[in-house]
Amino acid sequence: MAVPHTLTWLIAAATTLAILLRPWRLPEYLWACVGAGALVALGLLPAERAGHAMLRGTDVYLFLVGMMLVAEVARQEGLFDWLALLAADHAAGSARRLFDLVFLVGTLVTVFLSNDATAVVLTPAVYAVARAVKAPPLPYLFICAFVANAASFVLPISNPANLVVFGARMPALAPWLAHFALPSLLAVGCTYATLRLVFRAELAQPLEASPPLPPMTPRLRMAACAVALTAVTLVAASALGYPLGWPTLAAGALSALLVLLRSRASPWRLLKGVAWGVVPLVAGLFVLVEGMAASGALQQLAALMRGLPAGAAPWAAGVGAAVAGNLVNNLPAGLMAGTLAGMADLSAGTTAALLIGIDLGPNLSISGSLATLLWLLAVRREGMHVSALGFLRLGAVVMPPALVLALAALWIAG
């Protein structure tokens, strides 16, 4: 490999490592921007090509901002806290029933509000409820981490990585469900069964009485309507085959406006709570992947994929994407997978296998996905400690059978 190409990959690797480790506690987006800027400043990627790479992510940026707006509205209005208390109330002292209900809520939040919302917003609410009923928090917290990835390919809107992998080739809702309905069902079901088995001893203990469930106030109803409005809008846009960026932003902005008008609250608190740094983070990653594509390595990998037998290609794509997501995080891995799918002109089934690997594979390690990293930060804010090795031990039990079942379902159907 020529020296410029080697330097490109070294910069990409160093940037990914800095995003994961956050040296000097500097934010992730800063490292992504520094890495992207270095490629342009050193002449490794023309500025015009870098600009085109950033513009290709417009639909992703709009989707992220819209979803962050509606999730922040729900968080600030206390909707997730109320849902967690509702689960505890229906559990009626049974740890197993509480586990089932938290898993159900986590699945629904992931499917309709994206996996990042489950990691960031539902996790603190679940922790508070577990402490209130004197239950060991970790089994319920791990639900938030694992279901955020396992349920993230039920719908196109369930994970920003879905937009990254498919881009302009995003299928409409009907073909999406044809590919992913059964793999999603098996992935979620296997994840649930494995976690229930692993934590069976903790779930055998009875719970204390849950705190009284507060009535659903008008503000809570408004927040719930905002979430429902967003979900219906996005499902409709997906069913009609429209790009999801603008509908998501419009639904998120309208939801925020309606809630703010109802509560007469200042918009600044809402806007301050949105993690705006995610946008430059993803933009920087688009440029880094464009630099790697310019090095020729992705073209070689695309040629290799084209040469695989039809029956082997989905398995190689799914397992390879899962491994890559755990090595470099699923956002840059998803960007590379999307670029690779376009270069190799992969079949719909092989591209679907790539997505399953990108979405589900990160359940192996704590650094595998952005959602899991956000979950870890939320857990640490509550004073809990989860080590990378401890997560890996659990992930090694939970992820592989779910991945094999999902890929097998895709292979049999396709």
Query: Whole-angstrom Cα distance, residue 17 to residue 167?
Result: 25
In the prediction, which pLDDT does 1 show?
46
Q: Token digits for 381?
A: 């804010």
In the prediction, which pLDDT does 326 show?
86
Scanning the structure block, which residue is given the tokens 């589900």?
Answer: 360
- Regions of the chain short of the pLDDT cut 50: 1
Q: Token digits for 298?
A: 């992705």
pTM, entire model: 0.83
pLDDT tens track for 318-375: 999 999 888 777 877 888 888 888 777 888 888 899 999 999 999 999 878 878 888 8
Amino acid, res. 344? A
Scanning the structure block, which residue is given the tokens 């857990």?
Answer: 379
Q: Token digits for 398?
A: 């939970």
**Residues 205, 24 contacting (CB under 8 angstroms):** no
In the prediction, which pLDDT does 153 show?
94
* Residue 5: exposure state from Cβ atoms within 10 A (0-12, 13-18, ≥19): middle
Query: Whole-angstrom Cα distance, residue 4 to residue 88?
Result: 57
In the prediction, which pLDDT does 402 show?
97
Angle at 185 between CA 361 and CA 153, to 5 degrees: 50
In the prediction, which pLDDT does 282 show?
83
**How many other C-beta atoms lie within 10 A of the C-beta of residue 352?**
30
Query: Whole-angstrom Cα distance, residue 145 to residue 137?
Result: 13
**Residues 64, 286 contacting (CB under 8 angstroms):** no
Query: Whole-angstrom Cα distance, residue 50 to residue 40?
Result: 7
In the prediction, which pLDDT does 328 show?
72
pLDDT tens track for 371-394: 888 888 788 878 888 888 899 999
**How many other C-beta atoms lie within 10 A of the C-beta of residue 18?**
18
Q: Token digits for 150?
A: 């396992």
In the prediction, which pLDDT does 270 show?
82
Nearest by Cα to 210 from 122, 134, 96, 125: 134
Spatial CB neighbours of 24, under 8 Å, sequence gap ≥ 6 = none
Query: Whole-angstrom Cα distance, residue 230 to residue 390?
Result: 36
In the prediction, which pLDDT does 3 show?
57
